Amino acid sequence: MVLVEPVPAFRDNYIWVIGNNQYAVAVDPGDAGALQEYLEERKLELVAILCTHHHQDHVGGNLALSKQHGCPVYGPAREKIPAMTHPVSEGDLVRFEEIGASFVVMDLPGHTSGHIAYFGEGALFCGDTLFGCGCGRVFEGTMEEMHASLSRLAALPEATRVYAAHEYTLLNLRFALEVEPENPDLPARKEEDERLDRQGIPTLPSTIGLEKRTNPFLRCEDPAVMRMAARHCGKTLSASAEVFSVLRRWRNEF
């Protein structure tokens, strides 16, 4: 198992650092200063940058970091990523001998049109597609694309650790309880994540299994979720993609 540590950035971002006691690979380094401080404190050499999508809070540190460290920058082939040297897309395999890890690229359109994730070593680095108990807003893709992307993630092994890019879990739990007040797994998750938050510990990573039990956006075929979504929009819903669309718009206004 590779070592993964969070570097907090801005108000609620995480830059995930994958590595060992000598080398590091950084995921979505929006803040060059925060990451550089972390690297210097631990005397780590940055050997690569992985980007999931083009939003500034995920790529803002690329130019400074790649120039300082001379490291390659991987990112979605369908998007313009600062300092990108290795455009990647669905099925590409990225290997890092320095940390003994490799990851498969998944195309996950929805939040942005070219959003990708990196999956491997029992871990998923999913940017702004999947959050703790939630999902990203649909900015450039379609609701159908986002639903399909999340369905692909739900099909990953349940033990997969989910390294999302933002600390939104507690707010997302409030919405999840609104959608599924009778879900027995939600109070336990809320209690545990509130405990972590009080201690200043990230609520992430979660797991695919936990998300499937508690995240309404991965539960669009559950009868209770379908009924609540139908009640909210005032019409019968038969397809899970329709349920997702109602939930996402409801969450936008929550």
Which residues form the catalytic set? Answer: 53, 55, 57-58, 111, 128, 166
Dihedral of the alpha carbons of 64, 88, 22, 131, in degrees to the nearest 10: 90
Catalogue the E-assigned strands of 78-208. 86-88, 93-96, 101-107, 116-120, 123-127, 130-131, 134-135, 161-164, 206-207
Backbone angles phi, psi at 193, to 5 degrees: -70, -35
211 in Cβ contact with 204 (< 8 Å): no
- Joined tokens for residue 7: 């570097």
The most distant pair of C-alpha atoms in the chain lies apart, rounded to whole Å, by 58
Q: What does R_g of the chain's alpha carbons equal in angstroms?
A: 18
